[in-house]
């Protein structure tokens, strides 16, 4: 088995974390960088990651996240927050950045910009948010793999009230909406009902099919 697959076997949605153990700044940086380098539709990166370490804020979030203990027992709580809409300003910001970083303008790229400008801002905000949230999930996938690679435990969480988290973190004011939470930390030595259970996945032949 490849080294990466071994690490993916090792990872699981950790149910109990050890509050005294913190993820190092270096490992955190590697995980965040993996998310930043993740592919996104048209390269718009229409989401941000908020790293919550503040204990009081995490205590405030916990009751709105099914009282899941990892929220306060992790060392870093990542909040994936998607753009609430695609605006011309946001689209131009990314296209201008690409031009600036690459140092030239490309006609095909500029035509593509116009195509997006003529399409996305005209759609309703909810449709655009849903599209942006899907990109955030791709980032979540990268974070899960990167955390496992670094030997860091994590728990992807949809079990929370996004409206409350938005309020606590004042995300709507920033044009963001929380999509998913990812506590990072280390599995507790005791008290995790899932840690020793077999990882269960459908057999490959029920999951992958070929068209030859
Ligand atoms: C999008 C998403 C949301 C999830 N939400 C929760 C959650 O709120 N709480 C939790 O304990 N696990 C949550 N999980 C974990 C899944 O139950 C878990 O990944 C799945 O059962 C597979 O097990 P494994 O990750 O341990 O291999 C979530 C997973 C994903 C991908």
pTM over 0.85: yes
The residue ranges of every structural domain in the chain are 2-86+124-207, 87-122
User: What is the structure's pLDDT at 171?
Assistant: 98
Q: Is 128 within 8 Å of 141 (Cβ atoms)?
A: no
Atom of ligand 1 nearest to the CA of 199: 27
Q: Which of 157, 180, 194 to mutate to test the pocket of ligand 1 (most atoms within 8 A of CB)?
A: 157
Distance 146 CA to ligand 1 centre (A): 16
Q: How far apart are CA 164 and CA 155, in angstroms?
A: 19
With a cut of 90, say whether residue 138 has pLDDT above it. Answer: yes
Taking CA atoms, 209 is separated from 26, 199, 204, in Å, by 39, 22, 8
What one-character-per-residue DSSP string does 161-172 give? -HHHHHHHHT-G
| C-beta 156 within 6 A of ligand 1 | yes
Distance 169 CA to ligand 1 centre (A): 23
23-43 burial, b for 16+ CB within 10 Å, e for fewer? beeebbeebbebbeebebebe
With a cut of 90, say whether residue 82 has pLDDT above it. Answer: yes
Distance 156 CA to ligand 1 centre (A): 5
| C-beta 184 within 6 A of ligand 1 | no
| C-beta 13 within 6 A of ligand 1 | yes
Residue of minimum CA distance from atom 10 in ligand 1: 157
Mean of the pLDDT values across residues 132-141? Answer: 98
With a cut of 90, say whether residue 97 has pLDDT above it. Answer: yes
Distance 120 CA to ligand 1 centre (A): 31
Distance 211 CA to ligand 1 centre (A): 31
Tokens of 197: 């259970």
Mean of the pLDDT values across residues 103-132? Answer: 97
Instruction: Name the maximum alpha-carbon separation found in the chain.
Output: 59
Mean of the pLDDT values across residues 165-171? Answer: 98
User: What is the structure's pLDDT at 149?
Assistant: 98
Q: Is 160 within 8 Å of 61 (Cβ atoms)?
A: yes
State the Rg of the chain over Cα: 19
With a cut of 90, say whether residue 189 has pLDDT above it. Answer: no
Looking at every residue in the chain, the average pLDDT score rounds to: 97
Instruction: Report angle CA 121, 170, 181 to the nearest 5 degrees.
Output: 85
User: What is the structure's pLDDT at 1?
Assistant: 80
Residues 2-86+124-207, CATH architecture: 3-Layer(aba) Sandwich (3.40)
């Amino acid at each position: 088995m490849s080294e990466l697959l071994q690490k993916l076997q090792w990872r699981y949605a950790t149910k109990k974390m050890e509050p005294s153990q913190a993820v190092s700044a270096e490992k955190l940086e590697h995980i965040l960088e993996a998310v930043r380098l993740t592919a996104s539709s048209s390269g718009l990166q229409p989401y941000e990651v908020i790293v919550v370490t503040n204990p009081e804020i995490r205590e405030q979030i916990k009751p709105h996240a099914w009282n899941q203990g990892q929220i306060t027992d992790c060392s870093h709580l990542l909040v994936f927050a998607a753009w609430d809409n695609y605006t011309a300003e946001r689209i131009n910001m990314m296209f201008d950045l690409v031009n600036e970083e690459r140092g030239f303008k490309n006609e095909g790229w500029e035509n593509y910009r116009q195509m997006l400008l003529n399409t996305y801002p005209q759609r309703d905000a909810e449709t655009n948010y849903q599209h942006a949230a899907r990109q955030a999930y791709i980032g979540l996938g990268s974070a899960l793999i990167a955390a496992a690679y670094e030997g860091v435990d994590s728990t992807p969480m949809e079990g929370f009230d996004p409206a409350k988290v938005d309020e606590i973190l004042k995300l709507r004011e920033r044009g963001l909406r929380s999509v998913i939470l990812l506590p990072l930390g280390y599995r507790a030595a005791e008290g995790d009902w899932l840690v020793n259970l077999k990882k269960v996945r459908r057999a490959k032949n029920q999951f992958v099919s070929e068209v030859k």
